[in-house]
């Protein structure tokens, strides 16, 4: 198993943000963490990448426990992360942003750039544009492309659909699906059921830091009571 999260607990001071979360994800598979704002989705991703320290529990990547490692060491194990805020460099060009993501690679910079531009043709057309000149959809594509420059085997996406037009979401889903077919494991935190249904094979629904549903997307979609209770849908 590529990723295993076992009995994960995270506190922010006295606030118990994540309470005993468990799930696993293997190579080439997709899983969505869903729930309302404040459900613990983003905190779970941050714990996996090392941005917050778990209070207890175990996180394994490729069988190795990483819950006490700093983010840079976790990234070197093949984990890419795109935060909700995207955090691209506004005053760097598209190509310069991607080159930042090459810092941990050796000898494959040019080919990695061309692969990124092949995945996201609109970025290739704008490779000399500044980050601040891009649309929201293009900035999200750039953030994902930059995370892919390190050739991760596991990609964490925090609310990737936020603020994006349906056409952009469809394009993004096609690209990510192709990457998963090549072996990339994808874990996304998401509120947008439609976008999650384009990508995720399985879903964990969180409510106040606790897993309240674990199963397939069709099972979740068919459960109108659960959709209303935990996602405000239906």
Per residue in 9-57, pLDDT (tens digit) is 999 999 999 999 999 999 999 999 999 999 999 999 999 999 999 999 9
Mean pLDDT of the chain: 94
pLDDT (0 to 100) of residue 195 = 94
pLDDT (0 to 100) of residue 99 = 94
Q: CA-to-CA distance for 82 and 99, rounded, in angstroms?
A: 16
CATH number for position 168:
3.40.50.300
Do residues 147 and 171 share a domain?
A: no
pLDDT (0 to 100) of residue 205 = 97
Do residues 156 and 166 share a domain?
A: yes
Do residues 174 and 70 share a domain?
A: yes
pLDDT (0 to 100) of residue 180 = 96
Residue where a domain terminates, one of 151, 175, 193: 151
Do residues 49 and 162 share a domain?
A: yes
Mean pLDDT of 137-160: 96
Share of the chain above pLDDT 70, in %: 97
Reported pTM? 0.94
Residue where a domain terminates, one of 124, 151, 178: 151
Do residues 223 and 117 share a domain?
A: no
Does residue 232 have a pLDDT over 90? no
Q: Which domain holds residue 178?
A: 3-78+152-231
């Amino acid at each position: 198993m590529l990723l295993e999260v076992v009995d994960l607990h995270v506190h922010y001071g006295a606030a118990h943000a994540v309470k005993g979360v468990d799930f696993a994800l293997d190579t080439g598979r997709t899983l969505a963490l869903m729930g309302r704002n404040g459900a613990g989705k983003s905190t779970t991703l941050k714990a996996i990448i090392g941005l917050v320290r778990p209070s207890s529990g175990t996180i394994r990547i490729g069988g190795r426990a990483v819950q006490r490692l700093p983010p840079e060491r976790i990234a070197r194990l093949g984990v890419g992360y795109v935060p909700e805020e995207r955090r691209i460099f506004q005053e760097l060009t598209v190509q310069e942003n991607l080159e930042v993501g090459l810092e941990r690679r050796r000898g494959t910079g040019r080919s990695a750039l061309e692969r990124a531009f092949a995945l996201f043709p609109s970025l290739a057309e704008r490779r000399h544009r500044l980050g601040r000149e891009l649309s929201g959809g293009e900035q999200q594509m750039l953030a994902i492309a930059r995370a892919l420059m390190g050739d991760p085997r596991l990609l964490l996406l925090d609310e990737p659909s936020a603020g994006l037009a349906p056409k952009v979401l469809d394009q993004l889903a096609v690209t990510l699906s192709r990457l998963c077919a090549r072996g990339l494991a994808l874990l996304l935190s998401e509120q947008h059921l439609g976008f999650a249904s384009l990508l995720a094979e399985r879903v964990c629904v969180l409510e106040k830091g606790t897993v309240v549903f674990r199963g397939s997307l069709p099972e979740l979609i068919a459960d109108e009571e659960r959709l209303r209770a935990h996602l405000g849908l239906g």
